[in-house]
Amino acid sequence: MFSYLLLTAFLAVISYTNGSDEKRILLSDPQYIQQELTRFQSELQEIQVKYNTLQAKVTTFENAFISQGDKGAVLTRWGRSDCPANITTMVYSGTAGGSFYTHTGAAAEYVCMPDDPIWGPNKDLVYSESVGYIYGAEYQEPDTLFGMSDYAEDVPCAICLGEQYTASLMIPGRTQCYPGWTEVYHGNLASGYHGHAAASQYVCVDEHAQAIPGGGTHDEEGKLFYGVKAKCGALPCPPYEDGKFLSCVVCMK
């Protein structure tokens, strides 16, 4: 097909300039046509080789980017300062925190504050109005649900990376993952108290929760962890049971 197109193109007069002399080559010279056709075919082959080489490099870069971008599910392990061995590695450990439980304009989510903060250039800025706050977090009620001897123990946390996984999921109301998912840890569903002014979120506190040493000596409130009960109604019972504490499991895939 390509040779046919070249031959068709040569059915016209080809003009070119060599120095100051303009020469006109007519189709009456078959040898010239054959030479040019051979040259064009050779150049096309070289271009094809270069294209294939570049395409192979692009494919290699794309695969490397996809491999790095897709691998790595990040999750928070609430109630522990370590990450589950073998399937995750530690990004950092810290202290659970968030908004104060009575602040109506507070942020809802729990956050994991690192143990080694690095302050920015505005650390000492003098300004006392219209700001947000982050407090530490404490286990509340029932303290036995979280394995604590009393309430007001401070909550540790850890940010964990599952390098062989692409997604993480917290499933409320279960202690086992669905087929195809790998369990990271399971425990008890927690949130803020339903009667407090500040909003919260549902998180999964590890079944073998720890406390930050020395934190239980003072009840400083802040962001609070309470056990969560099921309430029948729009939530179907069965399979749920009214007034029973809910479990949870964190899974990766």
**Which amino acid, residue 10?**
F
User: Whose CA is closest to 96, among 159, 34, 33, 51?
Assistant: 159
> Same structural domain for residues 42 and 85?
no
pLDDT of residue 211: 92
Would you say residue 122 lies in a domain?
no
Torsion of CA 23, 24, 27, 32, to 10 degrees: 10
CB 181 within 8 A of CB 187: no
The two tokens of residue 231 are 């309430």
> Same structural domain for residues 8 and 101?
no
> Same structural domain for residues 184 and 76?
yes
> Same structural domain for residues 61 and 76?
no
> Same structural domain for residues 221 and 168?
yes
pLDDT of residue 62: 60
Would you say residue 126 lies in a domain?
no
pLDDT of residue 213: 86
pLDDT, one tens digit per residue, over 176-213 is: 999 999 999 999 999 999 999 999 999 999 999 999 98
Of the listed ranges 32-36, 99-103, 135-139, 167-171, the least confidently predicted one is 32-36
Residue with the bigger pLDDT between 206 and 152: it is: 206
pLDDT of residue 202: 96
Would you say residue 243 lies in a domain?
yes
> Same structural domain for residues 144 and 220?
yes
> Same structural domain for residues 142 and 158?
yes
Of the listed ranges 64-73, 94-103, 152-161, 171-180, the least confidently predicted one is 64-73
56 pLDDT exceeds 90?
no
> Same structural domain for residues 89 and 48?
no
Residue 223: strand pairing partners: 137
Of the listed ranges 35-44, 63-72, 134-143, the least confidently predicted one is 63-72
pLDDT of residue 238: 93
**Which amino acid, residue 59?**
T
Q: How confident is the model at residue 60 (pLDDT cuts 50, 70, 90)?
A: low
End-to-end CA, the chain: 50
pLDDT of residue 23: 47
Averaged pLDDT score across all residues of the chain: 83
Would you say residue 202 lies in a domain?
yes
> Same structural domain for residues 94 and 217?
yes
> Same structural domain for residues 98 and 205?
yes
Of the listed ranges 34-48, 72-86, 120-134, 153-167, the least confidently predicted one is 34-48
Q: How confident is the model at residue 49 (pLDDT cuts 50, 70, 90)?
A: confident
Per the structure, the complete domain to which residue 35 belongs is given by: 2-69
Number of compact structural domains in the chain: 2
> Same structural domain for residues 96 and 137?
yes
**Which amino acid, residue 103?**
H
CA angle at 88 for the pair 177 and 173, rounded to the nearest 5°: 25
Alpha-carbon distance of 96 to 80, in angstroms, equals 10
> Same structural domain for residues 25 and 36?
yes
